Amino acid sequence: MRNVSDGALGRTWRQCRRAAYQGELSHARLFTLVKLAVGQQRLQLLHHWLPLILRQAVSEGERSGSAVALADWLQQQGAIELAALCLEQVHWPAMNGPAWLLRGVIEQRRGEQALAEASLAQACLDKTVQAEASYRLGELQRAHGHPDRAAGWFLASLQRNPDHYCSHNSLQYLRLSPAMRQRVLQAYVQITSRRPQSAFANQLLAHYLLLDGQLKNAITVSRRAARLELGPQAQALAPESQPPTSPDFLIIGVPKGGTTSLLQVLSHHPGVWCHPRKELQFFDRFHHLGADWYCAQFPRFLPEAGIARGEASPTYFHCPEAPQRIVELMPKVRCIVLLRDPWERALSWLNHLQRLEGLDHDPIALLEQELQAIEHHTPASLSGIHQQLWSRALQDSCYDAALRRWDAVLPQEQLLLVSSERLFAHPEDELNRILTFLQRPTDSRDLMPHWRACNVGMANQHQTFPGELLQRIRETLDRHCHGSFARINT
């Protein structure tokens, strides 16, 4: 390994080389070398040397286990190609379910869908990883645009493990056929009989009762679910006889802006309750159900407890009807909107559609069509367009048009604009700012162990866009986001 410095990496490399010559290179020493090299961004050196070291310097008995452990760590660091190289050194006929699961995950992240499906099917034979492997197979079918098949795999995952959160979470976003919706509804009847104290499972049962037209039953189950798994907050519950009320705050946008991460970390604050189901979508999709249904989603606490209740539906920000509907029901509500770099958000949204909705259109053609529809508009004229323009990748990255609607009905002291980039770069400072806005105790240090990036998709590493198109997109988005970012930076 040439051109290695005399620091820790150089010393470790020399130790590994001596051990390899003596036939005594251990996995622990090799793992230390890999971690140091990745930490110093020496990935090209690892690409050249790591497969050779695994083949020739690690004992045959330890080689497969070492390669799998290294691949697992490397894929967690985002070094997918290097992880795949490690797996090439594995003797697969002797490997167990967890190893096949890892192989399937890495193949999926490399875009090798057919190979991933075969590996995950092999992993399903091992009961210890059956739930996770079934979930991954469901995600593959979801990406192919087969929601009913995806639902079948998610249900298989839940049959093995009724507490598998990701399978619960993914199921709720699928557009299912009536027959599959009935199957899912019956599955949740069984799951909640096995897990009667699971708030999330009961919330999802209520969701499928609602889709089945059973509004009254859905409200009853929602009210019960809202009082489950509250931890210490259960001591502050108001009597069940008191009717539920609307929430105190909303995270209203934007899609792919970090709303899941923010909701997740706020849910760990002792003075905050967040709905376990993201995207209730009451003020856009389900407003016809009425306030009784919406209020039933939230527990009612004693006033002296001072617990703020909220939910996150990032589609609210761009819904033309949402601002007026919200202030009519909750005139004192506090709304938070995360605004991400508009082009990065658009790319992330396209990736979401490709990865989770089965979108197979040419991204360049989609962006060109959408750009033609919006580039001659001003923020004022665009705010009057209520129909969806193509994929909404660019339309929902034009923040000023949506912000005009919110400013028309909501006092600025009730609307907090947050830079997504700033939140992820300096989470402690931005969380303190958000907690101050929510009138909660403002020391966010206790929340930091719970802070993490959620729902981070895998961008298409091979997608390139024509320079002229990129320039037009950037100029259009800059023009349609100038006012919003000026507000954030004041």
Q: Which two tokens stand for residue 88?
A: 């090439």
Q: How many CA atoms does the CB half-sphere of 484 hold within 13 Å?
A: 30
Distance of alpha carbon 52 from the chain centroid = 37
Query: What one-character-per-residue DSSP string does 373-426 give?
Result: HHTT--HHHHTT--S--TTSTTGGG-HHHHHHHHHHHS-GGGEEEEEHHHHHHS
pLDDT value of residue 454: 85
pLDDT in tens, 273-295: 999 999 999 999 999 999 999 99
AA letter at 415: L
Of the listed ranges 47-51, 161-165, 167-171, 280-284, the one predicted with least confidence:
47-51
pLDDT value of residue 461: 46
In three-state secondary structure terms, 46 is helix
With a cut of 90, say whether residue 353 has pLDDT above it. Answer: no
In three-state secondary structure terms, 148 is helix
| Angstrom distance (rounded) from CA 268 to CA 263 | 9
For residue 334, report the phi and psi dihedrals to the nearest 5 degrees: -110, 130
pLDDT in tens, 4-32: 555 888 888 888 888 888 878 888 889 99
236 near 305, Cβ under 8 Å?
A: yes
Tell me which of 8 and 156 has the higher pLDDT. Answer: 156
Q: Does domain 244-488 have CATH number 3.40.50.300?
A: yes
Contacts of 136 (CB under 8 A, 6+ apart): 101, 104, 105, 108, 116, 120
pLDDT value of residue 3: 52
Band of the pLDDT at 457, cuts 50, 70, 90? low
Domain limits, the chain = 1-95, 244-488
pLDDT in tens, 144-154: 889 999 999 99
- The b-or-e profile of 274-310 (16+ CB within 10 A means b, else e) is bbbbbbbbbbbeebeeeeebbbbbbbbbeeeeebbbb
Average pLDDT, the chain: 93
Of the listed ranges 14-28, 102-116, 161-175, 242-256, the one predicted with least confidence:
14-28
**Placement of tokens 């509250």 in the chain:** 230
Average pLDDT over residues 182-205: 97
Query: What one-character-per-residue DSSP string does 201-270 give?
Result: HHHHHHHHHHHTT-HHHHHHHHHHHTTSS-GGGGGGBPPTTSPP---SEEEEE-TTSSHHHHHHHHTTST
Q: Which two tokens stand for residue 78?
A: 């985002």
In three-state secondary structure terms, 349 is helix
- pLDDT > 70 fraction of the chain, expressed in percent and rounded: 97
203 near 193, Cβ under 8 Å?
A: no
Q: Please name which of 391, 371, 404 lies closest in space to residue 471, comparing C-alpha atoms.
A: 371
With a cut of 70, say whether residue 462 has pLDDT above it. Answer: no
pLDDT in tens, 312-340: 999 999 999 999 999 999 999 999 999 99
In three-state secondary structure terms, 432 is helix
Provide the whole-model pTM: 0.89
